[in-house]
C-alpha cells in the first residue's frame, strides 16, 4: 500500500500531516523521494498553493506515479477557502477530465479542508471552551462565534477579508490564551498526538461537526483496514 500525498500548503500541512499519519497509520513509512516507495510507504509533497496544486501539482504527481507504477492512491489535500467543498472537489475532477489525465490503477482521493487546516484545529475543546477567561479580542471572537460549541467549519469571516484569515487569527489567539504559540511555519502543539485525539473526540461526540476532517479520518481508517487485511 503506497500513497502519493499532495498538500496545498508550503509549510503547515507538510508538518502536520506526517505527524498525524504517524499516529493514524504507523504501518506506513514516509519516504523522502517519490521513487523510494516500496511496500507500505507514502510520499508527501507541497503543491505550493492554490491553484498551482491543481494546475501543476496534479499533472506532476501523475507523471511520477506512472513512472514508478507503485502508488495505490493519489491523495490531494487542499483548502475550500471561499468556495464550497463541492465546488472545490468538482474543480479537481473537471481538471482531470478536461486534461485527459489517465490515473491508471491509482485511485484519486480528494480531501478538502473546509475552510483551511486552521478551521479543523479550532475544534480542540481542550484548548478552548466557553467558560475559560478570555482577553478582549478573543472574547469578541467567541461572542461572534463560539467554536467550542458550534461547528468551526460553519464559521464566517467576521471582520476579516476572508474565512481563512479569520480562522487563523482566532486559532492564534486561542494558543496565546494557553501560553502557546501557533504559526504556519511552526504549528507546534497541533502536531502532537493529544491534539489529534481531541479533534477525534470532538467528531465522536459531535458527529455533525468537522465533516471534512472526518473525511480524512475515514480515509485513514479505510487504509488501516486494508493493511490489516493484506
**What does the H/E/C string look like for the chain?**
CEEEEEECCCCHHHHHHHHHHHHHCCCCEECCCHHHCCCCEEEEEECCCCCHHHHHHHHHHHHHHHHHCCCCEEEEEEECCCCCHHHHHHHHHHHHHHCCCCCCCCEEEEEEECCCHHHHHCCCCCCCCCCCCCCHHHHHHHHHCCCCCCCHHHCCCCCCCCHHHHHHHHHHHHHHHCCCCCCCCCCHHHHCHHHHHHHHHHHHHCCCCCHHHHHHHHHHHHHHHHHHHC
Question: What pLDDT shows up at residue 70?
Answer: 98
Question: What pLDDT shows up at residue 129?
Answer: 80
Kindly give the confidence (pLDDT) of every residue in the chain, 230 residues in length, as a single tens digit, with 9 standing for 90 and above: 999 999 999 999 999 999 999 999 999 999 999 999 999 999 999 999 999 999 999 999 999 999 999 999 999 999 999 999 999 999 999 999 999 999 999 999 999 999 999 999 999 999 998 777 678 899 999 999 999 999 999 999 999 999 999 999 999 999 999 999 999 999 999 999 999 999 999 999 999 999 999 999 999 999 999 999 98
Question: What pLDDT shows up at residue 133?
Answer: 65
Question: What pLDDT shows up at residue 136?
Answer: 87
Question: What pLDDT shows up at residue 132?
Answer: 72
* CB 78 within 8 Å of CB 46: no
Structural domains of the chain ordered from first start: 2-116+210-229 (3.40.50), 118-205 (no CATH)
Q: What is the pTM of this model?
A: 0.97
Amino acid at each position: 500500500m503506497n500513497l502519493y500525498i499532495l498538500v496545498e500548503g508550503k509549510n503547515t500541512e507538510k508538518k502536520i500531516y506526517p505527524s498525524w499519519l504517524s499516529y493514524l497509520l504507523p504501518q506506513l513509512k514516509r519516504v523522502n523521494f517519490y521513487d523510494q516507495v516500496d511496500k507500505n510507504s507514502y510520499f508527501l509533497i507541497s503543491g505550493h498553493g492554490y491553484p498551482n496544486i491543481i494546475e501543476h501539482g496534479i499533472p506532476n504527481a501523475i507523471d511520477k506515479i506512472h513512472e514508478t507504477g507503485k502508488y495505490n492512491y493519489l491523495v490531494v489535500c487542499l483548502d475550500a477557502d471561499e468556495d464550497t467543498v463541492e465546488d472545490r472537489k468538482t474543480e479537481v475532477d473537471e481538471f482531470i477530465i478536461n486534461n485527459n489525465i489517465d490515473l491508471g490503477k491509482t485511485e484519486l482521493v480528494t480531501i478538502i479542508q473546509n475552510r483551511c487546516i486552521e478551521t479543523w484545529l479550532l475544534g480542540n475543546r481542550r484548548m478552548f471552551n466557553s467558560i475559560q477567561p478570555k482577553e478582549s479580542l478573543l472574547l469578541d471572537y467567541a461572542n461572534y462565534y463560539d467554536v467550542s460549541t458550534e461547528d468551526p467549519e460553519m464559521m464566517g469571516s467576521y471582520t476579516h477579508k476572508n474565512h481563512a484569515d479569520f480562522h487563523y487569527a482566532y486559532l492564534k489567539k486561542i494558543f496565546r490564551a494557553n501560553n502557546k504559540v501557533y504559526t504556519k511555519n511552526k504549528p507546534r502543539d497541533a502536531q502532537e498526538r493529544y491534539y489529534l485525539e481531541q479533534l477525534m473526540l470532538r467528531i465522536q461526540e459531535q458527529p455533525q461537526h468537522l465533516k471534512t476532517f472526518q473525511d480524512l479520518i475515514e480515509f485513514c481508517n479505510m487504509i488501516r483496514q486494508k493493511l490489516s487485511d493484506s
